[in-house]
A and B are shown apart, each in its own frame.
Chain A
């Protein structure tokens, strides 16, 4: 059975707000400026984060760091997108690869040590996988469809695909798509053994992995133009032209290259852009991902598709590997490119061989507003 052609959507899915919390910069503009600055030291850990300005900050006193980062980034994204949205029409799709792994690990240790006496209602409550979504829905009055997505380090980026569906199916008029991660001691012990992270204190020239980062990135998506009506009057920052995710067997081998080439071809066709027009925010998070991405781009060039006009590795160079957050920081990077009038793509290749490619461009006049 052949692939079904997408219905031509008159309305566009646009980004109307973005929020960023990283060690290097807080806020979309500051983050873009940090990316544009000459490469310096990688900054991974957020020091002295002030949660006292968050809404109902007292109610977050037991919340984990990734929840605090996520709420802060969401506040910024929603402020940029503007008010006037009914809570019931506002959805959220949030992701976290590690989530509250730190407190889950602690609770497990207590159970192993002390049995039932080690069970802590506080740790258990804040350790539920959708704690971030639950807190965000309550504090930010996002009462429409709410989901916490897992599935690895591109789950946040994949949230854009699902958010587009929610908007196009009329389930929400605005969707907050985002991700948040906190630095995890257990991840720092585990992942360097598999080349996913660099061991703490290892030199920058170490051959495998990146230092572990943390933070949050949040985006507001709305449907604009056509029959969509205007959810808000906030200016659209970019249009989500196309996004597709696939699952590979691994990041190695000819089959992986074939699949990634096909992903580029389908996504560029759906976005109606040429590869050579694109600024590509690169996946580039491991030796295997680097090689796969390079092989796919070489193959596309050899087939006459050209090469992206620029391939950027700035996000991870700036903040290390913050799992589900990093691909969304790449989207924020792409927003700056789009603001300058050029289309941009974001590629994510996760350690477990998920691949996602998104293409963004300037919003059409009918969808701009503002």
Chain B
């Protein structure tokens, strides 16, 4: 019999706030968290807003956030890991052998902010005097080593870089590690900061919106970027119960697939995404009709939303209109490699609170997407929808045709 996997710890930081309670409260307020970006000189860009979190030192006052030279992303990551392991009651005393504690994190940028600092310094003072120590920390492994050392996670550690599906993909891999008995606890999730590199890059591809993020709306223009750090502590349910841990939810299914279509465009028919969603439901051993809420990838770009809609239609068929769905990127932006993990946490919060958070900023749904029950906010005469869900689904898709889907269920 397959072992069930439990979520016993959660940590989250985004523009919505610090911690699960603040995140849920912000969702209930239906207040988008976009502001003029301060992380870089965004005034030079057409799109100046994004979903920026508060500074790490404000988010985690008094906490040692790692080495002095650590960048903002790593400091937020350390804080979020601390929060999640504390929530799981595994921070101060961990009963599992150190080499059986693993760390699987999704990120696209990892230590890119350090590279940014280097390039700015190099331009200012020249390549001979540039601080190469900053670049030495560029490889993903540097971040892993800091986190592993700090929290005594001595087993396998990896960064999964599946573009915007990274955070969810890392959780899917973690499921397998636990089911196969390779590890006793896997600390997983994803993170990415706001960064000029991605802001400029997505801007150059005309994927950012000047009018705001309006997922699935007719005439939508694109996305806004945000930052997000979300960590889930996973253990086998039997082990969690044995040590008396609180179980937030079961991580009951996950899947990852590739489109094999294009480096930066989704398959317009959503075939890879449909296979992924179907595989995640099969992995969770539930039928489409058992899903009580879907947290959509829902970036607000023309092609992504259409592709996701077609994938959902393929998988859910006739039951599609009965399942409430929303995109919470309309609150905090697209956190790239962190998005899948942030939205996994939001899905668990929705499951436990019994409320599907609405999509903000959307009036009329794109007429091409008939049959989609997009929960809309009070700004469109709606509001958070009460749900009695047995299971919830979270979708993530990214460049490179990367797809990931996760299912969480009540314990």
**A contacts, CB < 8 Å to B:** 1-7, 87-88, 92, 97-98, 101, 104-105, 107-109, 111-113, 115-116, 118-121, 124-131, 133-135, 137-138, 141-153, 155, 158, 161-162, 165-166, 168-169, 171, 186, 189-191, 193-194, 244-249, 259, 262-263, 266, 350-354
Contact = CB atoms under 8 A, between A and B. Distances in A.
Interface stretch (B13-21, B135-143, B220-228, B291-299): B135-143
B263 A131 contact: yes
Nearest to B262: A138
Nearest to B102: A245
Nearest to A88: B275
Nearest to A121: B204
Interface residues of B, number: 82
Interface string B88-109: 0000000111011001000110
23 contacts: A2-B97, A3-B100, A3-B184, A4-B184, A105-B115, A108-B197, A109-B123, A128-B399, A130-B402, A137-B259, A143-B275, A146-B162, A146-B258, A148-B162, A149-B160, A150-B140, A155-B140, A161-B156, A165-B176, A186-B135, A245-B156, A266-B99, A351-B141
Interface in B121-179: 123, 127, 132, 135-136, 138-142, 144-145, 148-149, 153-163, 169, 172-173, 176-177, 179
Contact of B263 (A105, A135, A186): A135
A13 to B, nearest CB: 11
B121 to A, nearest CB: 10
B200 A97 contact: no
B404 to A, nearest CB: 9
A147 B264 CA distance: 16
Contact of A151 (B155, B159, B197, B255): B159
Count chain A CB atoms within 10 A of each CB in B153, B239, B256 and give the residue with the most: B256
B116 interface: yes
Contacts of A352: 139, 141-142, 144-145
A35 to B, nearest CB: 27
A134 B400 contact: yes
A189 B132 contact: yes
A205 B120 CA distance: 35
A147 B155 CA distance: 20
Contacts of A193: 132, 136
Nearest to B95: A1
Nearest to A134: B400
Count chain A CB atoms within 10 A of each CB in B140, B177, B197 and give the residue with the most: B140
A7 B2 CA distance: 12
A145 B255 contact: yes
A143 B259 CA distance: 6
B155 A246 contact: yes
B139 A116 contact: no
Contacts of B202: 124
